[in-house]
Structure 1
Amino acid sequence: MTGRPAPPVLPPSLRAPLGLIAALAALVVVVVGALYAGHSEPAGVDRWIVHPTADSVRPPWRRVALATDFLGEPVGAAALVGTVVAVCLLRRWPRAAVFAVTGVGVAVGTTTVLKPLVGRTIHGAGNLSYPSGHTAFATAFALVVALPAAGRLGLGRAAGTALVLGAALVAGAAMGWAQVALGAHYPTDVLGGWCTALAVTPATAWLIDRTADRLAGRRTTGSRPQQRR
Structure 2
Amino acid sequence: MTGRSASVVLPPSLRVWLGLIAALAALVVVVLGVLYAGHSEPGTVDRWIIQPTADSVRPPWRNVALATDFLGEPVGAATLVVATVTGCLLLRRRRAVVLVVAGVCLTVGTTTLLKPLVGRTIHGDDNLSYPSGHTAFLTALALVVALLASGRLGLGRTAGTSLVLAAALVAGAAMGWAQVALGAHYPTDVLGGWCTALAVIPATAWLVDRMAGWLVDRMADAGRRERR
**Fold equivalence (TM over 0.5):** yes
Partner of 1:43 in structure 2?
43
Structure 1: distance between partners of 2:227 and 2:26 = 50
Partner of 2:15 in structure 1?
15
Matched ranges for 1:115-126 at <5 A: 115-126=115-126
Given residue 220 of structure 2, which amino acid in structure 1 is its aligned partner?
A: T
- Are residues 157 and 119 of structure 1, via their aligned partners in 2, closer, same or farther at CA, if it must alter by over 3 Å? same
Greater shift after overlay, 214-223 or 61-70? Answer: 214-223
Q: How many residues align?
A: 226
- Given that 1:53 and 1:184 are in contact with CA atoms closer than 8 Å, whether structure 2 keeps it comes out as no
Q: TM-score, normalised by structure 1?
A: 0.95
Matched ranges for 1:123-202 at <5 A: 123-202=123-202
SS of corresponding position for 1:224: helix
| Structure showing the higher helix proportion among its residues | 2
Partner of 1:107 in structure 2?
107
Compute the displacement of 1:52 (Å): 5.3
Deviation sequence 1:101-125 (CA, Å, 0-9, x none): 1111111100000000000000000
Structure 2: distance between partners of 1:40 and 1:53 = 16
- Are residues 38 and 218 of structure 1, via their aligned partners in 2, closer, same or farther at CA, if it must alter by over 3 Å? same
Structure 2: distance between partners of 1:34 and 1:65 = 29
Partner of 1:4 in structure 2?
3
SS of corresponding position for 1:155: coil
CA RMSD of the aligned region, Å? 1.4
- Are residues 55 and 106 of structure 1, via their aligned partners in 2, closer, same or farther at CA, if it must alter by over 3 Å? farther
Structure 2: distance between partners of 1:52 and 1:38 = 22
State the identity %: 76
- Are residues 155 and 138 of structure 1, via their aligned partners in 2, closer, same or farther at CA, if it must alter by over 3 Å? same
Compute the displacement of 1:41 (Å): 0.5
Compute the displacement of 1:44 (Å): 2.0
Partner of 1:220 in structure 2?
220
4+ runs of 1 displaced by more than 4 Å?
A: 52-55, 225-228
Compute the displacement of 1:221 (Å): 1.2
